[in-house]
Each structure stands twice: as C-alpha cells, then as structure tokens.
C-alpha cells in the first residue's frame, strides 16, 4: 500500500496547516485538506509537481510503500 508522507515533509519545512499548504501550492482548499489529512484517492502529476515545487523535494520524499 502506498502511503502519503506529504504532511510530514510539509511540517519539516515549516508548513503546519492545510491552509498554508494551499497557499504554497496555489490549489483549492478541498484538495489541500485531502492532502493534509492523507485522504486523497489519487494525485495527478500536476499536483505532484506543485507539491515538489512548494516543498522543495523529490516525488519519492512524498510517498512510501508499505506491505499490508
């Protein structure tokens, strides 16, 4: 199962709320909340690119694969 590490990476970079993530990425509030709560069902490459730019990271920093 792939799990998000978006909140962890964001907090390491001083972003402590979904609102701050929204502003840093320029995305809508609903998507920022889903990313923050790790409840997004899917993420587009455009969103991954925005995350990497806003958080100054690589895609591999944002996701982790865990065996069930």
**What whole-number percentage of the chain has pLDDT above 70?**
100
Looking at domain 2-65, its CATH superfamily turns out to be: lambda repressor-like DNA-binding domains (1.10.260.40)
User: Does the pLDDT of residue 16 top 90, yes or no?
Assistant: yes
User: Does the pLDDT of residue 68 top 90, yes or no?
Assistant: no
User: Does the pLDDT of residue 1 top 90, yes or no?
Assistant: no
pLDDT at 31: 94
Kindly state the tokens that stand for 31.
């998507």
Helix (H) or strand (E) holding 11: helix 6-12
CB-based contact 5:48 (threshold 8 Å): no
Scanning the chain, the segments in alpha helix (DSSP H) are 6-12, 18-25, 29-36, 45-55, 59-62
pTM: 0.88
Nearest 5 degrees, angle CA 25-CA 32-CA 66?
A: 105
Helices 18-25 and 29-36, interaxial angle, to 10°? 120
Mean pLDDT to the nearest integer, 1-23: 95
Average pLDDT, the chain: 94
């Amino acid at each position: 199962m792939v799990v998000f590490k978006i909140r962890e990476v964001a907090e390491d970079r001083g972003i402590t709320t979904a609102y701050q993530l929204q502003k840093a990425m320029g995305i809508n509030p609903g998507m920022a909340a889903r990313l923050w709560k790790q409840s997004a069902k899917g993420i587009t490459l455009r969103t991954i690119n925005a995350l990497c730019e806003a958080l100054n990271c690589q895609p591999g920093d944002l996701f982790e694969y865990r065996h069930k």
